[in-house]
Every structure is written in C-alpha cells, then in structure tokens.
Amino acid sequence: MSTNHLLEIKQYGQSIWMDNLSRDIIQSGELKDMVENQGISGITSNPAIFEKAIAGNVIYDADIETAVRANLPTDKIYESLVFADIRYACDILRPVYEASNRLDGYVSIEVPPTIAHDTEATITEARRYFQEIGRENLMIKIPGTEPGLPAVEQVIAEGMNVNITLLFSVESYVNTAWAYIRGLEKRLAEGKDISRIASVASFFLSRIDSNIDAKIDAKLKKGVDDISVEARLKAVKGKVAIANAKIAYQEYKKIIESDRWKALAEKGATVQRLLWASTSTKDPSYNDVMYIEELVGRDTVNTVPPATIKACADHCNVGDRLETDVDNAYTLIENLKDPDINIDLDAVMDELLVDGIDKFIQPFQSLMNSLEDKIKVLSPV
C-alpha cells in the first residue's frame, strides 16, 4: 500500500484541514474516513462551497420540502440546510477536538458575505450562528476587513472561536493577530476563562500569484528591451505568495514573543495559528502541491481542497520548509518595488480583498436564486 504523505505533515506541527463540505461526503461516510484514516483534522466551508454542494443536488430536496411546508423564507431554508451539515461535521470531528485538547477538530462557517463591511451585523450574526448551531468546535469565519476586526475582537471576548479570512497582506495578518489578543485581554479583564477559545488567521496564497503573474505576463507581452529585466520579471512569477507567507510567519513569531502574548499564554490562551488558504495551484505549469510543500511548519494549518488533498497524499515531498530561504523572501518582496519590476503589492492586496468578498457574494446570491427555483418546484400546488 502506498504512503499517504499527508500523514507525515503532522510531525512538523502542522494540521491539515479540508476546504470542502457537502451532505454527500457526510452521509457516504467519506468524511468520517478522511478524519479517522487520512489525516484530516478540520473543515472549512464558504458560500462557494455550499453553492456547489446544494445547487442541483437532490440529497437536500426532502429537507427543502419540509422547510417549504413550514413556510420558512429562503434565507432560513438556506440556514437550515447549511447548519445541519455543519452540525454533522462538528460531530464527526468532535473526537479530534477532544483528543487534540481543542487544538483541532473545528468546522468553519462564514457569516453572510453581504455584511462584510458591517461590524455590528457581523457580531450579531456570529452570536446567532454560534448559538443556533450549538457546537463547541464551531469556528465563525469573519473577513479580515477593517470593519471585520472590531467584530473579531468582540466575538473573541464573548468566547467564540474565530477564523479570520481573506487575509492577503502581512499587515492585515498582523492587525488580525492583535485583534485576537485584544479580544482575549478584554475577556480576561472580565474574569472569564480564555483557555477554551481558538482562532486561525486564514492567509491566502494562489490568488496572489495569479494576480501578479498576470501583471508580469502583461509587461512581458508589451515587450522588455533589456534581457536582464525580462529574466528578473520571469524569476518573480509564482514566487510572491510563498515569500509573503514566510514573512507573515516571521511576524507571528515576533507576536508570540511579545510580553502581551506571554501574559495571556500564562492564563491558558491558545496561539492563533496561521492557516494557509487558497492552496490549489492555478497555473498547470507549477508544482500542483507547492503551496503545501513550501509552507509546512510548526503551529500552522493548511486548508486544502479535495483534489489537492489527493495530489499531496500521492506525491507531496514533505519537509520543514517554512523557515528556509526567509532572507530571499524579504529580498523578493522588496524587489517588487524596483522600477524595472514595478509591482505595487499593497494595491494588489487591496484589489484581492475586494475581489475575495465578491467571490463569496456571487455564489451566495446564486445559491439563494437556485434555492428559490427549487422552492417553486417543491412547493405544494
């Protein structure tokens, strides 16, 4: 029997979560098998994942019919389907949650992407989701937007687990880490236990390279007079996301060495781990598991879509590489400012955040539309 290379990753202090959830994999026993035998120790979901799972899938029809008969509106029907799947998944992962002393075993659900810029609405929905789903190993996903961070702080202070998502820049990650710390400090000041709260900071990868590679290709297509400049442009392709992630990890290390963090750790706080997201390689000329192989390291999570899970299990070359070539990572990022390369990384990150929210709003609205169509079909005449 061939080796499952995913199982080797855990020895380096990294957890593998799966970026996928549907009722099919719950009911077929596939999810249970992946958790028990294939090294999967958490689940992340988002509106795009649920759109794929629910739209055009008859497995949900009986529940939709029940909800229609109860006269539930479309948004409540959506929640009834999604919350049920999340509860099932939480229950399957509960043994991992307990065996890992609450480090792993989490299932993430996103608050509606339409409220990404509304702090109060985000807090209200996070509370409601956490209460209605009713599972300790639930993580609420909140976008790392400027209005999202005060929501993160408040939700942490209230004792909920949080997955801060759509982080692209190192600065946005650092801001997220301090929001987590402020939330814990606030909770501690109220005399409450901080040892049972977990958080991850979801730092995105492939979307960065896709964006920057397109910009480089456009420059090369225009034509570059100097052959050395052409070589330097080509050398940047497919390298920025991993370099950016390695620098973020160095910032993580500084944060956990801070006095403020150490004071919380003494009271039982758990570190907020960096979670590598968007880890399927978009360019077929690149190594299909490069966003896994290059970022294995202590106190991190990699959330991986099913096809990349299979690819990594088959042929990942696992090693502790997160802290290799760090100097080169800083140099590469700095070189983007060079007039010959001239890529504004901050502008790219801002663009990706706006685009990222849109990428969740569109499937969310599409799912609502397809649910409405199903409701019409399944409604009693």
pLDDT digits (tens, 9 = 90+) for 212-250: 999 999 998 888 778 888 889 999 999 999 999 999 999
DSSP assignment of 326-377, as one string?
A: HHHHHHHHHHTTSTTT---HHHHHHHHHHHHHHHHHHHHHHHHHHHHHHHHH
What band does 380 get if pLDDT is binned at 50, 70 and 90?
confident
Residues catalogued as catalytic: 141
User: Which tens digits make up the pLDDT trace of 284-325?
Assistant: 999 999 999 999 999 999 999 999 999 999 999 999 999 999
What band does 1 get if pLDDT is binned at 50, 70 and 90?
low
Residue 267, classed as helix, strand or coil, is: coil
User: Which tens digits make up the pLDDT trace of 338-353?
Assistant: 998 999 999 999 999 9
- Tell me the Cα Rg of the chain: 21
* Superfamily per CATH, domain 5-206+241-322+352-373: Aldolase class I (3.20.20.70)
What band does 334 get if pLDDT is binned at 50, 70 and 90?
very high
What confidence score (pLDDT) does residue 225 get?
A: 76
CB-based burial label for 250 (10 Å; 0-12, 13-18, 19+): middle
Q: How far is CA 246 from the centre of its chain?
A: 17
User: Which tens digits make up the pLDDT trace of 20-75?
Assistant: 999 999 999 999 999 999 999 999 999 889 999 998 889 999 999 999 999 999 99
Alpha helices in 45-169 (DSSP H): 47-54, 61-69, 74-99, 119-133, 148-157
Domain boundaries, the chain: 5-206+241-322+352-373
pTM of this prediction?
A: 0.96
